[in-house]
Structure 1
């Protein structure tokens, strides 16, 4: 309705110029206001070369306006559509070819009337079909009540100490190699654009999420290079080349020149980085980025923007309560539900880690607006909405944009996650049970290449979190079939898959039923002996868990290496695989031990069980 009102204002202004003015140029300007490129229709016909050229100019103008809409969506440049529309209207009005024919005016008004009528009929039909589909969907959901235990059949990790395989470790190295390179280097990252989903910041985000979730599930009692990788990926987010895009987006989207990406509505940076910090703290027990100014952004001009985990969370809180839909925009003006569930997860994690209730008072409003403003007539989440015009884009992109929000919704609103997942799940299998690969978009979100890698990985990620083992295994098998793994120099990668897809796959492989929800709501505080200071990649840690019986770990290496231990009692005496070690005053110790491939390590206090 807001978008319609904006157009009716344009239509009224153009009509007033056509009907009330006596100047030819104003008549042409009026046509240009009624339709983008419409001013060129003033002298268009199909009987003369000049008339045909004007007709082609009008068609080109409409196409140019369409391109400006894509620029608006892709970069947040809100100036592009009005500048294109008004620029063509003024340009056409400067062409002096005589008076506008009355027949042309009648034709334009008739065309506009037909289009508006067709849109009204289409919208009415769409809502009627949506009402019918909702009844079908609700009946389907009711029929699934007795099958929930069969669908969500994956067993949680309770009571187990999971271990990565050597293959899994080699996939993890894809993220670690990129994280552990010098801070200013970005070797192995894709550099395509910084405005959409191929941006470097998203590659950093999801590689970091994958490392954090891997840490939380498989190696909570290992510090070393796993901690270093997460810190490095956050420090890379603070590099100017990662956040420099905001100066342009803020200028042409908000008409402000402030280059600080945290200062104003910008959840695609603030929310995503806040979750990165939250997962680092939840998986390691460390609070490095809670220190004031720890995440300081330095502009090439020398201006500094001091931030930290607390300042990012406070900014998210403020933006949620002041945004028109209670959800925060990504690119200026464009609001994405997926991005907002990421930001909400970050606040919830911060609450759990600091014993606060920031999100408790906002959860109801967030959920209400998510339901009221970001579901289409059929009950599916829309990908995004324009805060200024109300324009909501249709759900495109196959299964992935419907599946991935379920992963984060399982923290924010678990019942919504299940509802959306069950409705999506119908589309993933044929009536005879075959996996429907055509339900997945053949374009990789992370690099715009032709590959279903990101679609399979993101859907597998949501399936793992919800506990749907059938979908998880079907996605992983399809991923391997279409984008086979390649082992090179000890690292497994997929040739056509984007870095973003690799990060999401790493998250999926670290996933377990309600695993992400548990990491967010129950951050681990590791106590007792822990591994530290291991040479990467000479030693790969497949498992490291500390408990009443001390530290139990599984490592892959060959030859003799030094193992670092921390978290010991000061001057305490321990047995490490029957070798006696004594901690120093800081609770640290080291030992040299032989390796032959997969090697077990057990560290316990001497005299312990």
Structure 2
């Protein structure tokens, strides 16, 4: 199912700097600062003690108390000036800590600590001229900010009109841009190279549950966290299963189950105890209990894709996803409880989008959570998302679309402040993949606007548009940026961008084959997972899997030894099965889903199903080997 080629949704008119919820949060923040400014001013002009007056100056400006004795003429004055600069830098670092770990206490405590530290220094009376300079500086900064925001608003309104004119002009080019064909009805097959890349994920998934060999252990608060590595490796395996091996159980099912069960290991979710404590001032370590879409939404989609690609409902069993705390407390969850939590948090949020780290709201994460609910609906014949879709879309457009038509990476739920669109094209490209399931017209619009940055005037691919930092391990590599953009291109059907990204990825991060597994030395585990998703992608493949997962019926391969036998393709063929296997020597092949006691031919080998519809037989394999299982006497 594809959108009509003429369906290009324009950007909404740009009539105000901020959406209503964001504006209310920013006004509240400004009012809070005015209270702080008033208190600091009161100390400055009413208090008799110099230490209290300096403390007041520290309330007016982070590190401002050190300016009380600052000058550029004396050694003491220069020291105080440097102390003020160091204090402002420390406050800036506390903002980064707040963003990186959700620690909302860091900025106010740093600000207060700097004020107290400056007040504790005794260097004589505070100079009146210094007070005047601080207030004059604040006034100049406020005027400059107002001018900058007015100029940005005017420029953005002009750019919005230009962008909409551009979008209207793309109507005739849509068929040329989104030119990839559909995979529907085609028995897709992985190449040996593709199978060797899949093994990167399978090797990590199929190790003992409490082992994480081959995973990167850098931090558990940001994008290098193990939970994200598990998520995206699992998404890659699920998409691979759905496209190439829907009629194969065996190690593909086992890998997806293992990657979900690894999410229950305490080391994966222990981060939340700290984040919840210093971000929400709550001591509950359960990562599902409160707005935490980076765990709840991501795992819910993991479960949804497992069910959609296998037809199984293991994690719909009550309490199947249980988190055991070292204290002995157990938090029992399952697919339904995660979906219900997502629904509650969507409706409870003023933004109608859920925070990740306490306070920080990411549109990308929320499209992942929305996809999970949509998939749950399709699998259980429910209409949960229908009650949220309109509000979600409205708030996404009203609160998270900046003046230049880009979805902002993230926004503070408490202050309304947003991070600038840094990170190159990847944070603009990757949301298009998940958005294609939630709001396909918006995904197409955003992709068309982004695509202009990917090629220069003569059609050359702009590699410099991709951030040289790998999101998954913070190393110097464009692997994650190329993989994520290729993923969105595959889903939307833009074959030119997909090819350009994969070629650039291979050039800058060459594939290395070791012991039958292909990896890229500089690429993070996260980037490998995203690349696996991209290679399993097809036009609207993710959307179709979310909206209408295909039924899993008929004969299925099962019980093959990994990695002795690699399954490149396995598709139901009426009452039979067609598969492609890679191995050498004679191997035992297992089948399930056969008709009880019915005779079959596996290539030229006669087999009979047992009472449970299962059978086993030995098959000689030599490299790439085709297998056709059919009822005896059938075609």
Q: TM-score range by the shorter chain?
A: over 0.9
TM-score by length of 1: 0.99
Whether the 8 Å contact between 1:544 and 1:552 is mirrored in structure 2 is yes
How big is each residue's C-alpha offset from its partner over 1:527-570, in whole Å with a ceiling of 9 and x where there is no partner? 11100000100100000000315100000010000000000111
CA distance in 1, matches of 2:185, 2:561: 30
Equivalent residue in structure 2 for 1:412, among 430, 438, 441: 438
CA distance in 2, matches of 1:444, 1:342: 21
Aligned residue for 1:432?
Answer: 458
1:343 aligns with 2:348: no
Equivalent residue in structure 2 for 1:570, among 593, 596, 608: 596
Aligned residue for 2:218?
Answer: 192
CA distance in 1, matches of 2:588, 2:323: 37
User: How far off its partner does 1:573 sit?
Assistant: 1.1
The CA RMSD measured in Å over matched residues stands at 0.8
How big is each residue's C-alpha offset from its partner over 1:138-189, in whole Å with a ceiling of 9 and x where there is no partner? 1110110110000000000122111000000000000000000011110000
Q: Which moved more, 1:24-33 or 1:224-233?
A: 24-33
State the number of aligned residues. Answer: 609
CA distance in 1, matches of 2:34, 2:504: 49
2:201 counterpart SS class: helix
TM-score by length of 2: 0.95
Aligned residue for 1:242?
Answer: 268
How big is each residue's C-alpha offset from its partner over 1:331-387, in whole Å with a ceiling of 9 and x where there is no partner? 000000000000000000000000000000110000000000001111100000000
Aligned residue for 2:492?
Answer: 466
1:100 counterpart SS class: coil
1:33 aligns with 2:59: yes
1:110 aligns with 2:136: yes
CA distance in 2, matches of 1:405, 1:233: 23
CA distance in 1, matches of 2:505, 2:475: 15
CA distance in 1, matches of 2:272, 2:84: 34
Please give the residue correspondences for 1:144-155 in structure 2 after superposition, counting only pairs within 5 Å.
144-155=170-181
Aligned residue for 1:370?
Answer: 396
Please give the residue correspondences for 1:498-509 in structure 2 after superposition, counting only pairs within 5 Å.
498-509=524-535
1:544 aligns with 2:570: yes
Equivalent residue in structure 1 for 2:468, among 442, 449, 458: 442
User: How far off its partner does 1:298 sit?
Assistant: 0.3
CA distance in 1, matches of 2:57, 2:147: 25
1:49 aligns with 2:62: no
1:407 counterpart SS class: helix
Q: Which moved more, 1:307-316 or 1:20-29?
A: 20-29
Please give the residue correspondences for 1:193-212 in structure 2 after superposition, counting only pairs within 5 Å.
193-212=219-238
Q: Which moved more, 1:152-161 or 1:449-458?
A: 152-161
Whether the 8 Å contact between 2:555 and 2:575 is mirrored in structure 1 is no
User: How far off its partner does 1:399 sit?
Assistant: 0.5
1:603 counterpart SS class: strand
CA distance in 1, matches of 2:558, 2:508: 38
CA distance in 1, matches of 2:31, 2:504: 47
User: How far off its partner does 1:76 sit?
Assistant: 0.3
Whether the 8 Å contact between 2:297 and 2:368 is mirrored in structure 1 is yes
How big is each residue's C-alpha offset from its partner over 1:299-327, in whole Å with a ceiling of 9 and x where there is no partner? 11111000111100000000000012010
Whether the 8 Å contact between 1:575 and 1:606 is mirrored in structure 2 is yes
CA distance in 1, matches of 2:601, 2:359: 60
1:593 aligns with 2:609: no
Aligned residue for 1:524?
Answer: 550
CA distance in 2, matches of 1:433, 1:229: 41
1:197 counterpart SS class: coil
CA distance in 1, matches of 2:59, 2:604: 84
1:556 counterpart SS class: strand
Whether the 8 Å contact between 2:54 and 2:115 is mirrored in structure 1 is yes
User: How far off its partner does 1:99 sit?
Assistant: 2.2
CA distance in 2, matches of 1:415, 1:14: 51
Unmatched segments (≥5 aa) in structure 1: none
Aligned residue for 1:13?
Answer: 39
2:386 counterpart SS class: coil
Q: Which moved more, 1:123-132 or 1:397-406?
A: 123-132
How big is each residue's C-alpha offset from its partner over 1:199-230, in whole Å with a ceiling of 9 and x where there is no partner? 00000000000000000000000000000000
Whether the 8 Å contact between 2:220 and 2:271 is mirrored in structure 1 is yes
User: How far off its partner does 1:433 sit?
Assistant: 0.4
Whether the 8 Å contact between 1:284 and 1:524 is mirrored in structure 2 is no
CA distance in 2, matches of 1:566, 1:6: 66
CA distance in 2, matches of 1:426, 1:352: 35
Equivalent residue in structure 2 for 1:220, among 223, 231, 246: 246
User: How far off its partner does 1:420 sit?
Assistant: 0.4
Equivalent residue in structure 1 for 2:340, among 297, 314, 328: 314
Q: Which moved more, 1:548-557 or 1:429-438?
A: 548-557
CA distance in 1, matches of 2:410, 2:35: 25
Whether the 8 Å contact between 1:278 and 1:346 is mirrored in structure 2 is yes
How big is each residue's C-alpha offset from its partner over 1:56-83, in whole Å with a ceiling of 9 and x where there is no partner? 1111000000000000000000000000
CA distance in 2, matches of 1:280, 1:309: 11
Whether the 8 Å contact between 2:554 and 2:575 is mirrored in structure 1 is no
Aligned residue for 1:167?
Answer: 193
Aligned residue for 2:483?
Answer: 457
Aligned residue for 1:140?
Answer: 166
1:388 counterpart SS class: coil
CA distance in 2, matches of 1:567, 1:93: 78
Aligned residue for 2:316?
Answer: 290
Whether the 8 Å contact between 1:341 and 1:409 is mirrored in structure 2 is yes
Unmatched segments (≥5 aa) in structure 2: 1-25
1:124 aligns with 2:153: no
2:581 counterpart SS class: strand
